[in-house]
Amino acid sequence: MKRSWIFGLAIAFAGFGGCGQVTAGPLEDGVAAFDNQDYDKALKLLKPLAEQGVAAAQFKLGFMYSSGAGVPEDDALGMAWNRKAVAQDYAPAKAWLLMLCIGPAGAPAQDCDPAYAAVKAKAEAGDPTAQSQLGGLFLLGRGGFQKDPARGIDWIRKAADQGDAKAQLQLGLIYSNSFMGVKADPAQSLAWYRKAAAQGDVAAMDALAMHYAMNMEGAPDAKAQAADWYLKAAEKGDIIAQSSLARMYDNGDGVPKDPVKALYWYRKLADLGDADAEAKVGSAYALGKGVAQDYVQAYVWLDRSIAQSAAGGLSDADNTRLALNAVAAHLTAAQIADARKQSAANKGGQDAK
């Protein structure tokens, strides 16, 4: 898949929406398969719906072709499907079109020029999402809009002042860095992050937690506040927050050292197939750290971690192999065979105890 988005682009267009609401049935199953990166299933379910004119399916299918997600990358075909969803005024497709237009590869003027004009018209009419998008165009100097960071920020602020959480997050990101000539302002960054986080925006919660973790103001309770916001995001299923929180409890960084809580959050990540977290869970079982010592389960998780590392092309699994060998010394041949069977069957660790 393409990996072409740069930091400035992420800041400028942080206000783009998600995939919209989907209905139950094949569409919901297809979207779920796409989100789980089961692209074969997603294609099988979504393509017939796209051909029937379902905008959400057309959008997803277009994204798959444009990004090479489970299908041969084909920008023209991706644009053709996305164009069909745009014609039905499907908001996520329109947002993705704008991203394609400003991206490195660009998109046909026949699609982009009307998209830019529509954003400007909606922004001037007071639509906060369009205001954020127009601000991003001025920040980047795209779509015929001359690069003007001050004007871009003014448009984003209009959306933020209407309570738009994504725009508030954009401002927080902008003021957290010396971005395009805009002087970093930690106090403003913090204020905007807090506004967005208070509305439940998970990305803002992460950003706010990172802000406190860096302790730019030198506050004595900054790490504790970081942990509080990571917890809020982690409870919403955010993997960045779960990983950060697990490490904080593991190391006693800003919170009391708590192997039980650390293991709880590592296990959440391990259940998703995160190799590092699987290794942590395996080590916890091997050492009896936060859980009763169990060498069989230690072997299961460590073995899964090595397999995941290999599947992901990661080479840093030497320490995990050493730990696996140490655990194996405590097991019989039958126990090792059983552990290997569990490891192979429980892909990602979903069913391991």
Q: How far apart are CA 328 and CA 295, in angstroms?
A: 8
Q: How far apart are CA 28 and CA 187, in angstroms?
A: 42
pLDDT category of residue 314 using cuts at 50, 70 and 90: low
The radius of gyration computed from the CA coordinates of the chain, to the nearest angstrom, equals 23
Average pLDDT, the chain: 86
pLDDT category of residue 294 using cuts at 50, 70 and 90: very high
**Helix, strand or coil for residue 182?**
strand
Q: Running DSSP on this structure, what letter comes out for residue 348?
A: G
Phi, psi for residue 241 in degrees, rounded to 5: -65, -40
Task: Read off the pTM.
Answer: 0.75
Q: How far apart are CA 162 and CA 323, in angstroms?
A: 54
- pLDDT value at residue 11: 52
Q: How far apart are CA 204 and CA 340, in angstroms?
A: 41
How does pLDDT run across 84-105, given as a tens digit for each residue? 999 998 988 888 888 778 776 6
* Low-confidence winner among 21-30, 58-67, 143-152 (lowest mean pLDDT): 21-30
How does pLDDT run across 227-261, given as a tens digit for each residue? 999 999 999 999 999 999 999 999 999 899 999 99
Per-residue three-class SS string for 219-261: CCCHHHHHHHHHHHHHCCCCHHHHHHHHHHHHHCCCCCCCHHH
How does pLDDT run across 132-168, given as a tens digit for each residue? 989 988 988 877 788 898 999 999 999 999 999 999 9
Instruction: Give me the residue spans of the domains in the chain.
Output: 8-103, 108-196, 200-257, 261-353
Residue type, 181: G
- pLDDT value at residue 13: 52
For the cut 80, the answer to whether the pLDDT of residue 69 exceeds it is yes
| 118, 95 contact by CB (below 8 A) | no
For the cut 50, the answer to whether the pLDDT of residue 18 exceeds it is no
**Nearest by Cα to 208 from 171, 161, 251, 237:** 171
**Nearest by Cα to 299 from 334, 268, 326:** 326
| 65, 81 contact by CB (below 8 A) | yes
Give the homologous superfamily in CATH for domain 108-196.
Tetratricopeptide repeat domain (1.25.40.10)
